[in-house]
Amino acid sequence: MRMVVLGLGYLGATHAACMAELGHEVLGIEIMPEKRAQLAAGQVPFYEPGLPDMLKRHIDSGRLTISGSYVEAAKFADVFFIAVGTPQKKGEYSADLQYVDAAIEELVPQLTRNALILGKSTVPVGTAERLTTRAQELAKDIDVEIAWNPEFLREGYAIADTLKPDRLVLGAYPGGRAETFCRQIYAATLAEGTPFIVADPPTAELVKTSANAFLATKISFINAIAEVCDAAGADVQAIAEAIGYDARIGRKFLNAGLGFGGGCLPKDIRAFMARAGELGAAEALSFLREVDNVNMRRRQRMVDITREVCGGTLLGKRIAILGAAFKPESDDVRDSPALNVAGQIQLQGASVAVYDPKAMENSRKVFPTLDYAGTVLDACDQADAVLVLTEWREFVDLDPLPVRDVVRCANVIDGRMCLDKNRWVSNGWNFVV
């Protein structure tokens, strides 16, 4: 089938490449010329395991082409995916829908045949309905159907999550062609038995928002328990393990530590609260404010612990930060807890050296004033404390002995509860979680 993907960021580039992988002919539309040129040359402008190979293969074969033209898009196909970003508005909780709106405003006037627009971006409930009304105003004697087909991919596992998702969800209005088209588009995935939930658009929009709110809540729940554990001298990791064996609870997303960040969970729970407020249901989601608060306290706690370990002041201290990405297997530093902590520690008078296996370039753009080291050992040179803030395998497997030889004080703070404590302690480290 021929299809267009509008917006080629993390979501859109992965979706476009995966649709080509499923055998479809895909045109990807990216309005930023630099990004477009990179993608057209078969290069992925961010780190996502497996994606560069897949993208290059389909660019080379011609099954995936890249353009910046909505006129070309309108001619190319009758199915369009919206995969543009929906960031948090500056100084507000709500989602900024300018890119979604722009996609509709640019595309629909160019359409000359009936079309199906499938939204993949995470949007506040009610967006599909609003866009349907607007598309009808913009359409010229044709029928434009808008349905929502949310995406649940995790960065770092984006290809597997797209090709073999836990479930497919479609929110469509009755009488349209969205379900028939989706059954064709995802035929290979559905043939493998992937559950397919078909509902109305508001329900599909809320499935996505609810999923992210639940995941954020689960993480903040275990981090709230970690706060109590700190006060009571108990072990939160053992608690996570023990309660995780209960199939009703499950072990996943119960890793306590520095908490969640990234381009999705933080802004999605805030946009969800904002939307509930607009709908007069603010009280229903008031607990999400606490989920956010618990999460932000984790960052503050890490700064406080570092100051304590350094004898009560960070002035003139040298701190090594291992990890800058918001999670491993990603170079994404959007709302990264690690960089947030690094910035706060520097503001309290320490000199901070950061090392991350993949996120150095992105970190430099956001925090140009931090020092960036080329290796773990360079970052740790003469450090008064070493903080592990992203659980990259390189750090989990790190040999504590050579690191001890380069630091000034052998203090390690395990911000992600990912290190083998015995190994570090037996190599002479003061180990703090």
- Which residues contact ligand UDX by CB under 6 A? 151-155, 212, 215, 219, 253-255, 257, 259-262, 264-265, 326-327
What is the 3-state composition of the chain as percent helix, strand, coil, each rounded to the nearest 5? Answer: 45, 15, 40
Closer residue to ligand UDX in complex, CB, 152/424:
152
User: Catalytic residue among 18, 264, 310, 380, which?
Assistant: 264
What's the rounded Cα separation, in Å, for the pair 390 and 341?
12
Closer residue to ligand UDX in complex, CB, 36/327:
327
264 is catalytic: yes
Closer residue to ligand UDX in complex, CB, 70/152:
152
DSSP three-state, residue 125: coil
Q: Least distance from C-beta 390 to ligand UDX, angstroms? A: 7
82 within 8 A of 117, measured Cβ to Cβ? yes
The one-character DSSP state at 88 is B
Q: Which CA distances in Å does 296 have to 2, 268, 336?
A: 44, 15, 11
DSSP class per residue in 160-178: HHHHS-S-EEEE--TTSSH
Q: Least distance from C-beta 78 to ligand UDX, angstroms? A: 27
Closer residue to ligand UDX in complex, CB, 21/329:
329
122 within 8 A of 86, measured Cβ to Cβ? yes
Closer residue to ligand UDX in complex, CB, 152/355:
152
What's the rounded Cα separation, in Å, for the pair 40 and 62?
11
Closer residue to ligand UDX in complex, CB, 328/400:
328
10 within 8 A of 158, measured Cβ to Cβ? yes
Q: Least distance from C-beta 190 to ligand UDX, angstroms? A: 20
Q: Which CA distances in Å does 427 have to 395, 406, 421, 424, 430?
A: 15, 13, 10, 5, 9
Q: Least distance from C-beta 158 to ligand UDX, angstroms? A: 8
How do beta strands 168-171 and 351-355 pair?
unpaired
Q: Least distance from C-beta 33 to ligand UDX, angstroms? A: 27
Q: Least distance from C-beta 417 to ligand UDX, angstroms? A: 9
What is the sign of the dihedral through the CA atoms of 111, 114, 120 and 121? positive
What's the rounded Cα separation, in Å, for the pair 429 and 423?
9
What residues act catalytically? Answer: 264
